[in-house]
Amino acid sequence: MSFPFVKGHGTHNDFVVLPDLDGSIHGDLEDAAVAAICDRRGGIGADGVLRVLRGGAAGGAGWFMDYRNADGSVSQMCGNGLRVFARYLEASGLVDPTALAGPLAVGTGDGIKQVTYCGDGEISVDMGAPKVGGPADVSVDGRRLVGSSVDMGNPHTVVVVDALEDAGELVASPISCVEQFPEGVNVEFVRVVGDRDLEMRVFERGVGETWSCGTGACAVVAAVASGSAVAGTGEAAPGQGTGSTPERPTTYAVGVRGGRLSVTWDVDGHLHLKGPAVLVATGTWTA
């Protein structure tokens, strides 16, 4: 079977975009097909797949992003992926030029998200309000660490560390509580660099360590800014929040291996993820 694809990335969190406007090309998009596409030696190679569908069932949005992790599993939301998805719509002429001046509604597994094309060439996504929960344990290389749970439409555990190297090699998936996270969890390791300046590493469920994670960047900002973040030892982390409602609007810079992202917590409690989105190649799958 042959089909067209586009390759893109957001801060080197890379994706294969599959145009499938009416859903007739890829059908149910089987796990094995996604895994083959994302295979970095036998396939195109990517952290995930973004299928582009018209949004008839997306609650009024004109487009729907069907996102899959590299192992084929469904993920409800991907912030970097949504920016790449929006860049594809723009570059392919699927969006009316007048729509580029205002927010564009895109359906996702976590509901409709508003995307804005910024004047500096970057793209911003209203990621909605985070749900900051209580403590969450993870085991990394046999070490028990305590983090903070944050829901960004997908589950996250945020662990504050003194140095990013403290996370170890991140080859094996961190072990989490099945009762708390029955479908697995994304784990972020964050270091507070300075005032509203963070850096992080991330292990994404269904993928492994990636160079960036948009929902993860939002999760670490939510944990640190709200004062709920804890160090891996379980002690209160040196954050920049009060443990209550943080000052808003407030913007954090989040450094990732693939670059830098900007996360703004607005007066309505929503997080806005801003960063680059780059398309690098087009081609045809022939395997």
Asked about 118 being catalytic, the answer comes back as: no
Instruction: Specify whether the CB–CB gap between 55 and 49 falls below 8 A.
Output: no
Instruction: Specify whether the CB–CB gap between 279 and 87 falls below 8 A.
Output: yes
Asked if the bond preceding 249 is cis, omega within 30° of 0, the reply is yes
Instruction: Specify whether the CB–CB gap between 237 and 160 falls below 8 A.
Output: yes
Cα distances (Å, whole numbers) of residue 76 to 49, 144, 145? 13, 28, 26
**Orientation angle between helical segments 79-91 and 214-226, nearest 10 degrees:** 130
d(CA 132, CA 197): 20
Catalytic entry in 78, 118, 177, 218? 78
Catalytic entry in 38, 177, 213, 218? 213
Cα distances (Å, whole numbers) of residue 116 to 3, 22, 45, 97? 29, 24, 28, 13
Asked about 78 being catalytic, the answer comes back as: yes
Catalytic residue ranges: 78, 213
